[in-house]
Amino acid sequence: MPEIRIVDVTNRDGEQTARIVLSKLQKTVLNILLDEMGIYGSELGFPLNPHEWNYINSNVELTEIENDDGRPVIENLRLEGWSRAVAGDVEQALANTELTHLNLSISTSQQMLEWKFRGKFSPEDIIKMMTDAVRAALEGGCTSVGINAEDASRTDLEFLKDFGLAGKEAGAEILRYCDTLGYDDPFTIAERMAWLAREVQMSLETHCHNDLGLAVANSVAGAVATCEAGQDAYINTTVNGVGERAGNADLVSCILALRHSSGLSEKGYLDEGIDLTKAWRLAKYVATSFGLPIPINQPGVGANAFAHESGIHADGALKDRHNYELYAFEDLGRGHDELSRTGREILTGLHGGTSGLEYVYSHMDLAFRDAEHAKEILNLVQYANLMNQSPLTEEELQFIFHHPAIARKLLTYTP
């Protein structure tokens, strides 16, 4: 049976959102949390950019380094890079990173050909650039390649078919349908992607923006239609729906829709390996890292997602949560008490010392081997705090303690 897999793009499309940014340490911890949640893939960044090279290669290294339990730090998450569909860009990206999957993007709509490229490229040029880039990726060591049709929702379907077939013949495995402006609706995207899946006979991927508030609905509709047409589907998401302009399809919302909506819950297309109980921790970490509070009405993870004040609602929820809740808060990893200190607090960071560092780590049941070990970790914690420009989270402190050599690479830049 066809399957829907999630490829999260918070570390690429989410992080290129105006006014917000993540450090390489934060992007790495995010990949680890996505892996723990059972998400299929992470589009982790731009392998053409030199400032991404240490980070990307360090994350690839984490797929080989084992935790204390003998399992890789990043065990199953497929690490994907984004590149323009330009052979030269691909060659340089692969010369400097160890990635084995690339998503190659190029605009396909008449609007973009005329007004972005200013008429420099014909439709035939677009296909040739894409196929040259696919071949360059495979020759450069990639084991799989995806092709992205930017502005697919405003692209002629026959051209999308030709684009997909040419990419498939060159060796691409996945065609990404980009609703770049959030232009589609659930009906149009389902119809268009079902037709494409039948005509091209390859896996399709939704990449939906939220300009009209339809990103989740469009993503789910397009993916399900692809499966109904007999092909595997991928959904691009971001954590908490961050993304350019009005954002992208929210990770948790897409999963909840596929698991609990009336028409989809019994179809069974969604990847069964996803552990939704990790959602709360993931959503909180991303909100903290971006400095963007989770919206109060965010599905599943918002402060009001399980809040009932109305007398009728409160009475009904107390009698049986199914009266006013489609899913349980425990399903999202919620329900535990979260403590906030109101007295003395000992922190560690840019100006910290070893005494404070030892105190903080002792509350995580971690102890240093000796003074040199403490000095090494303190140095990394200080630089990490400087890079993040915010207090380090427990996840980040844990990572630095257990993987200091990788942390040092993540903190190293060469302008």
- 66/186 same-domain check: yes
Confidence of residue 170 (pLDDT cuts 50, 70, 90): very high
In this structure, are strands 4-8 and 233-237 parallel, antiparallel, or unpaired? parallel
Query: Is 415 part of any domain?
Result: no
pLDDT at 305 over 90: yes
Residue of 206, 138, 207 lying closest to 169 (CA atoms): 138
Same domain flag for 10 and 132: yes
Domain housing 230: 4-289
Q: Tens digit of pLDDT for each residue in 238-280?
A: 999 999 999 999 999 999 999 999 999 889 999 999 999 999 9
Last residue of a domain, one of 289, 318, 335: 289
Q: Are residues 124 and 217 in the same domain?
A: yes
Instruction: Return the pLDDT at 341.
Output: 82
Residue 129 lies in a domain: yes
Assigned token pair, 103: 């998503």
pLDDT band of 319, cuts 50, 70, 90:
confident
AA identity, residue 11: N
Q: Is residue 130 part of a domain?
A: yes
48 and 184 assigned to the same domain: yes
Q: Are residues 216 and 133 in the same domain?
A: yes
Per the model's pLDDT, the better-predicted residue between 265 and 106 turns out to be 106
Give domain status of residue 336, yes or no. no
Give every CB contact of residue 93 below 8 A, 6+ residues apart in sequence. Answer: 47, 48, 81, 83, 99, 102
Query: Tell me, what's the pLDDT at 345?
Result: 87
Q: How confident is the model at residue 168 (pLDDT cuts 50, 70, 90)?
A: very high
Task: Work out the pLDDT band at 320, boundaries 50, 70, 90.
Answer: confident
Considering the domain architecture, whether residues 267 and 377 belong to the same structural domain is answered as no
CA dist., res. 201 & res. 232, Å (int)? 10
* 238, 256, 289 - which closes a domain: 289
Residue 340 located in a structural domain = no
Q: Residue 398: which residues within 8 A CB-CB, separation 6 or more? A: 364, 366
What's the CATH number where 262 sits? 3.20.20.70
d(CA 164, CA 168): 6
- Would you say residue 279 lies in a domain? yes
Is 298 contained in some domain?
no
Write down the pLDDT at residue 347: 87
- Among the residue ranges 75-84, 141-150, 240-249, 336-345, the one predicted with the least confidence is 336-345
Whether 268 and 383 map to the same domain: the answer is no
Q: Are residues 261 and 391 in the same domain?
A: no
**Are residues 125 and 239 located together in one domain of the fold?**
yes
pLDDT, residue 108, reads: 98
pLDDT of residue 59: 98
Same domain for 117 and 226: yes
Judgement on whether residues 9 and 141 belong to the same structural domain of the protein:
yes
Decide if pLDDT at 188 tops 90: yes
Residue 369, pLDDT above cutoff 90:
yes
361 and 265, same domain (yes or no): no
Contact 210, 248 (CB under 8 A): yes
Asked if residue 311 has pLDDT above 90, the reply is no
Domains: count for the chain: 2
Q: Give percent of the chain with pLDDT exceeding 70.
A: 100
Residues 219 and 206: beta-carbon distance below 8 Å: yes
User: Is residue 213 domain-resident?
Assistant: yes
Out of 289, 313, 335, a domain closes at 289
Residue 65 has pLDDT above 90, yes or no: yes
